[in-house]
């Protein structure tokens, strides 16, 4: 069953078309990575699913609820991790998470916040200002923020940007843990091979359309790179 269903999705900014009829299904519990060159429309697509942008045409639904008409209902089930932390540097880690816990009306917010901070390995920095955190710590806290309300769908927008090797490994581990819990994950990334190793399926978005949709179970890195090059450099228009 599709948890995220996208059909003939279009989006244009003024006269500039960015998405030109995207079709993509993401099943419950699936981890799908979306790759593509700059300007392919990856972030636009993710922001539409995240209810932050309205589509120009086509249909998008999450959990069977169409967007944008049922955005308010869908928001409770979505979490977004981006290269922006979406955290307030002048508040402590605990204050940041408590703020979001209150907005999501979570029960036993303080206990929940303490537990989530422990999960991402930041319990010792609970009372420290976020502006004093390293990039890796910020990304862990960002995941804590995005998963605090136990969303069914986790949306990831270039989550590896600016991370060193140790932080990348830690993020991989956290994502595997989230996926293991049955969370549906839709990630966009520039890191082609990394995207391939962590997910169940990888889709290539090129010139506003899905040009390929491959299962990682039957596609190795070499095959994938060849397909990607053929699509993005060979002029395939999807």
Partner 1 sequence: MGNFWAAVTAVVRKDLTIERHTGQSISVMVVFALAVVVTFNLALGGNLDAARNVSVGLLWATILLAGTLGLNRSFAAEQENNSFDALLMTPVDRSAIFLGKVISVSLLMFVLEAILIVVFTAFFNKPFYLPTAVLILVLGTIGYVAAGVLVTSMAMQTRARAVLVPVLLLPLTLPVVLSAASAMASILDTAVFIWDEVGFSISLVILFDVLMLAVGAVTYQFVVED
Smallest distance from the beta carbon of 232 to partner 1, in angstroms?
28
Candidates 129, 150, 177, 213: give the one binding partner 1 (CB under 8 A). 129
* CB closer to partner 1 out of 89 and 221: 89
Candidates 39, 59, 69, 90: give the one binding partner 1 (CB under 8 A). 90
Name the nearest CA neighbour of 40 among 7, 18, 22.
18
Smallest distance from the beta carbon of 93 to partner 1, in angstroms?
13
- The count of chain residues that interact with partner 1, using the rule CB under 8 A, is 29
Residues 96-125 contacting partner 1, CB under 8 A: 99-100, 102-105
In the chain, what is the straight-line distance between the N-terminal and C-terminal CA atoms, in Å? Answer: 25
- Neighbouring CB atoms inside 10 A of 21's CB total 15
Which residues face 92 on adjacent strands? 129
Q: Torsion over CA of 31, 181, 197 and 238, rounded to 10 degrees? A: 0
The tokens describing 39, both together, are 């300007």
Smallest distance from the beta carbon of 191 to partner 1, in angstroms?
21
Q: Is 80 helix (H, G, I), strand (E, B) or coil?
A: strand
Which residues contribute to the site for partner 1 (CB under 8 A)?
50-54, 72-73, 75-76, 78, 80, 82, 84-91, 95, 99-100, 102-105, 129, 145
């Amino acid at each position: 069953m599709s948890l995220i269903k996208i059909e003939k999705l279009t989006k244009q900014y003024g006269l500039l078309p960015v998405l030109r009829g995207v079709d993509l299904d993401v099943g419950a519990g699936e981890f799908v990575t979306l790759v593509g060159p700059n300007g392919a429309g990856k972030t636009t697509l993710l922001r539409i699913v995240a209810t932050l942008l309205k589509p120009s045409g086509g249909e998008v639904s999450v959990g069977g609820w169409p967007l944008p008409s049922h955005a308010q209902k869908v928001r409770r089930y979505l979490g977004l991790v981006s290269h922006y932390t979406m955290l307030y540097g002048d508040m402590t880690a605990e204050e940041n998470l408590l703020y979001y816990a209150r907005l999501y009306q979570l029960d036993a917010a303080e206990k929940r916040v303490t537990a989530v901070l422990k999960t991402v390995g930041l319990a010792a920095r609970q009372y420290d200002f976020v502006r004093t955190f390293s990039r890796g710590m910020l990304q862990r806290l960002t995941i804590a923020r995005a998963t605090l309300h136990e969303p069914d769908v986790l949306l990831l927008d270039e989550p590896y940007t600016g991370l060193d090797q140790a932080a990348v490994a830690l993020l991989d581990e956290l994502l595997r843990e989230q996926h293991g819990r049955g969370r549906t994950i839709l990630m966009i990334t520039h890191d082609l091979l990394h995207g391939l190793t962590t997910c169940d399926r990888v889709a290539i978005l090129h010139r506003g359309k899905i040009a390929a949709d491959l299962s990682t179970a039957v596609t190795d890195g070499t095959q994938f790179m060849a397909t990607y090059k053929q699509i993005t450099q060979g002029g395939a228009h999807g």
